[in-house]
Structure 1
Amino acid sequence: MLYKLWRSFIKEVLLLKRDSGGIVIIFLMPLLLIITITLIQDSTFRSMEGTKIPIIFIDNDQSEVSKVIKKELETSKTFELITNFTEKSAEGAVFRGDYQMAIVIPENLSKDLNANINFKVEAIVSSFGIDPNSTQDQKPITTAKDIHLYFDPATNPSFKSSVMDAINKMVFEIENKKIYTAFQDQLGTTEDLDNKKLISFKEIMPAKANDAKPNSVQHNVPAWALFAIFFIVVPLSINLVKEKTQGTNVRIRISPAPYYIHILGKTCTYLIICIIQFLLMVAVGVYLFPYLGLPQFEVNGKMLDLLVVTLFSGLAAIGFGILLGTLAKTQEQSAPFGATSVVVLAAIGGIWVPVFLMPEFMQKIASFSPMNWGLNAYYDIILRNSRLGGIAKEIIFLFLFYIATVAISLLYEKKQHAV
């Protein structure tokens, strides 16, 4: 039995050796894809990360509150302040689309805010029977001060909301601090009543989580390795169709070896190809990418787990290729359908667009894609430091997919040749 399997394996290797075009597609095309796409995505990511958005800032207050707001915006990694505008010229520049937004601080903002807070604090202190320190006859400011925000009409609504929320937060913190200071002055206390956050947010990371955030290399190496693995559907299905059209399939059926040995021979051959493809992708990520100015792909302590995922992802791809080659009658059917189906599986599986950005209906469909199972398993290992036990579900799904597709192929082939 092992000898028959070995001879079947050798036959497949010889067939691939004669098909130089297929070898180029299997190995060279995925390498070109991963290098090109990673360079494009990484350069785009870095340019966006390092570029500040120019916004117009007009300070008609020139006092405490406006200086705090200006300082917060200047220290932000998001905005670059442009100050040589009047409100009228800023309005025209923003509405023409020259700038995304303008912020105009009104006159006497700090003065009126201080007066309003002091009046209210004195009223509260007086209600407790305590004589306020201030003897000034102050009146509340009844007219609200508006910070004018001008946005380019084409600006994304989420950008508008985030900017307004940030400014509201800054103003709230300023008001809160001034209220504490006003109470401290009225009560004549020297105790530190400066407002400090009593509740804050703390992100809890997994104990063994990777400190580095996911980057373009951590996404593209596993994603496009998976795409390359599934792209063997095309040459594998064409190979099976050729056997039927050239009569090789007949000789295989009348040989002493069972037909499933022939299928196992193809599985072993293309499984080795899948592993070689993955190793080439990893080699590019580890050794070539740093010379191209890209982050290095880290695989320390994870290589064995990654190879296990590659093994079962390869089985799923091989099963799909065997099924397609068994059902197709001509190369014109198998080749276009195989390539298209792999592209579709990649699209819905999260290879190009992350699944969480898809509509809810598409997210449910993605959960049925074998490429999504493999990608999730890769991510669990690379980004979440999971071991084999943490990816058991994805591995089982991939293996069952292989068993199901091969079983259907064998049953279909048996029915077609039943006497």
Structure 2
Amino acid sequence: MPKLLASAYKELLLLTRDIGGLAVLFLMPLLLVIVITTVQDGSFKTIKQNKIDILLVDKDKGEVSQTIHDNLRTSDMFNIIEQSNENEAQKLIQNGKYQLAIILPENLSNDLNLKIAENVDGILAKFGVDESEDLPGTIQIEPKEVKLFFDPATQFSFRNAIKSGINQMVSKIETKSIYKAFQEEISEDSNEEIFDTESFIIFKEIIPNSGKEAMIPNSTQHNIPAWSLFAIFFIILPLSINMVKEKNQGTFVRLRTHPVSYATVLGGKAIVFLLVSLIQFALMLVVGIFLFPLIDLPQLNISGRLPLLFVVALFAGLAAVGLGLLLGTIAKSQEQSAPFGATFVVILAAIGGVWVPVFAMPQLMQTLSNLSPMNWGLNAFYDVFLRNVGFIEILPEIGLLTLFFIATTFIAIIYYKRKNAV
């Protein structure tokens, strides 16, 4: 134990003498999470809170177009700007001044009513309700196109959401028109409502939480755990670089002359850098709880979750330390350890779901994400932050992180012994 503490003290001295390295370890992750969360929260607010300006070119001027106009205006998403010229609207969209333009075709209301009346008369005639024997001939009515002009820079998901919403709106208008036509044909009182046109099937969004209070995920709940993991795993750079320096400066040679095992040397490094990872995580939580509300970002809610959060951070730190010990043992120079370490962390973050959610990845990348320790840690954090689980539920992820630490440390010790065997 005294040897392990002495090794840890030596690592602490090396770390505290590098002021620039400490700044990178603690300040840069905080700056990163603030910037990323601010950018993403602004995007969320644009979609959820601020109305989007859209152009509406109404060539119909009828009942259907008025209904569409009213539905768009009463929605919480759009601010309607009327435009009379279709070509001008297209230019404004192409130039990026607006994201969407809706073009309602001529005679939309009239042709829709004619088509519905024709279908209703045909149905009633087949059932013998319409007693008139001379039915008018079938009128060829061309389908109407509601044109949607999108800004080329608009995201594909936004386009699909808008098209789906417009399609549902038009379908509802058609359904009500059909009900109205039937009512006029079979009822003497035009004011009497025979058909209930309200939607029978409705949707209710529920977050399954086993009776516990579920948190509504926002930019803070997603970014604090994700970029905390990124910062924790970035400690492999200073850890591996310090180990390479010791080898190049002859410190390892002097350590070999003392009765100290390589496992003890690695244990001292693990203790110090594990402490660093926990401090990084604590600073992230402080920023999310106290700083974010001051800069108009959602506050991080950790009520009742703090112990489990630090448990996940502890084991994520162990996995990062194990990776750093392995890299520092194998690398022969800083030119090897620094670029490889930085690139490898970015790759682990990319396939682990830190940047892009795993469900949005191709199937191959979703499979590969299961191999990333960042994905294990991120799932454990999400379980605690968003799903309100207990310690038992996060044991699989914690187990994987622990096995990763044991495997990488064991490989580092075996590699060192074989390389330095006499």
The DSSP-based 3-state class of the residue aligned with 2:196 is: coil
CA separation of 1:130 and 1:310: change in aligned 2, threshold 3 A: same
Q: Counterpart of 2:203?
A: 201
Do residues 320 (structure 1) and 318 (structure 2) align? no
Q: Work out the CA distance in 1 between the residues paired with 2:176 and 2:336.
A: 72
TM-superposed deviation, 1:291? 0.8
Q: Does structure 1 conserve the Cα–Cα contact (< 8 Å) formed by 2:316 and 2:401?
A: yes
Q: Which residue of 1 aligns with 2:267?
A: 264
Distance 1:333 1:92 in 2: 53
SS in structure 1 at match of 2:343:
helix
Q: What are the superposed Cα offsets for residues 349-407 of structure 1, whole Å, 9 maximum, x if unpaired?
A: 22223333333323322221111211121112112222222222211111111111111
Inter-CA distance 333–198: structure 2 relative to 1 (3 Å threshold): same
**Aligned partner letter, 2:127:** F
Q: State the distance in 2 between where 1:371 and 1:252 align.
A: 33
Residues 210 and 383 in structure 1, CA contact (< 8 A), matched pair in contact too: no
TM-score by length of 1: 0.88
**Which runs of 5 or more residues in structure 2 are unaligned?**
none
**Matched AA of 1:62:** K
Kept in 1: contact 2:98–2:151 (CA 8 A): no
Question: Which position in structure 2 is the counterpart of 1:64?
Answer: 63
Offset of residue 24 of structure 1: 2.0
Q: Which runs of 4+ in 1 moved over 6 A?
A: 134-139
Q: In structure 2, do the counterparts of structure 1 residues 401 and 111 end up closer, same or farther at CA, with 3 Å as the change threshold?
A: same
- Give ranges in structure 1 of 5+ residues lacking alignment: none
Partner of 1:143: 141
Residues in 2 aligned to 1:246 and 1:269: alpha-carbon distance in whole angstroms? 21
The equivalences for 1:81-160 within 5 A come to 81-87=80-86, 89-90=88-89, 93=92, 99-131=98-130, 141-144=139-142, 146-149=144-147, 151=149, 154=152
Letter in 2 for 1:333: Q
Greater displacement, 409-418 / 6-15: 6-15
**Structure-2 change in CA distance of 1:150 and 1:263 (3 Å):** closer
Q: Secondary structure at the match of 1:151?
A: strand
Q: Give the 5 Å matches for 1:183-194.
A: 183-188=182-187, 190=192, 192-194=194-196
CA contact (8 A) 1:91 1:150 kept: no
Moved more, 153-162 or 320-329: 153-162
Partner residue in 2 for 1:230: 233
Decide which of 346, 349, 370 is 1:346's aligned counterpart: 349
Compute the displacement of 1:140 (Å).
5.4
Q: Aligned to 1:372, what secondary structure does the other structure show?
A: helix
Between the aligned partners of 1:242 and 1:65, the Cα distance in structure 2 is 75
Per-residue CA deviation, residues 28-72 of structure 1 (Å, 9 max, x unaligned), is 222222223322332344345444443332334333212111111
Aligned partner of 2:177 in structure 1 is 178
What amino acid sits opposite 1:243 in the alignment?
E
Q: Please report how far the alpha carbon of residue 96 of structure 1 lies from its aligned counterpart in structure 2 after TM superposition.
A: 6.3
Shift of 1:222: 1.2
SS in 2 for 1:130: coil
**Shift in alpha-carbon separation, 1:167–1:241, aligned structure 2, 3 A:** closer
Name the count of aligned residue pairs. Answer: 417
Q: Deviations over 1:69-115 (max 9, x none)?
A: 11112123333322241345445655666555543434443344334
Partner of 2:387: 384
Q: Secondary structure at the match of 1:57?
A: strand
Partner of 1:280: 283
Cα offsets for 1:200-256 (capped at 9, x unmatched): 333342125765542222222112211221121122112222332333323433433
Q: Secondary structure at the match of 1:103?
A: strand
Give 2:369's aligned residue: 366
**SS of equivalent residue, structure 1 residue 381:** helix
Match among 298, 313, 328 for residue 310 of structure 1: 313
Q: Which moved more, 1:275-284 or 1:121-130?
A: 121-130
On the 8 A contact 1:96/1:152 being kept in 2, the answer is no
SS at match of 2:32: helix
* 1:4 to 2:3 alignment: yes
What letter matches 1:187 in structure 2? I
Give the AA of the match of 1:80.
N
Cross-structure match for 1:415: 418
Percent identity reads 50
Contact 2:229 2:377 in 1 (8 A): yes
Equivalent residue for 2:396?
Answer: 393
- Name which of structure 1's ranges 325-334 and 294-303 shifts more when overlaid on structure 2: 325-334
Distance 1:317-1:49 versus aligned 2 partners, 3 A rule: same
RMSD: 3.0
- TM-score between both structures, scaled by the size of structure 2: 0.87
Distance 1:24 1:110, change over 3 A: closer
CA distance in 2, matches of 1:4, 1:158: 58
> C-alpha separation between the residues in 1 aligned to 2:310 and 2:281?
8
1:296 and 2:299 aligned: yes
Report the residue type matching 2:15 in the other structure: L
Question: Secondary structure of the equivalent of 1:387?
Answer: coil
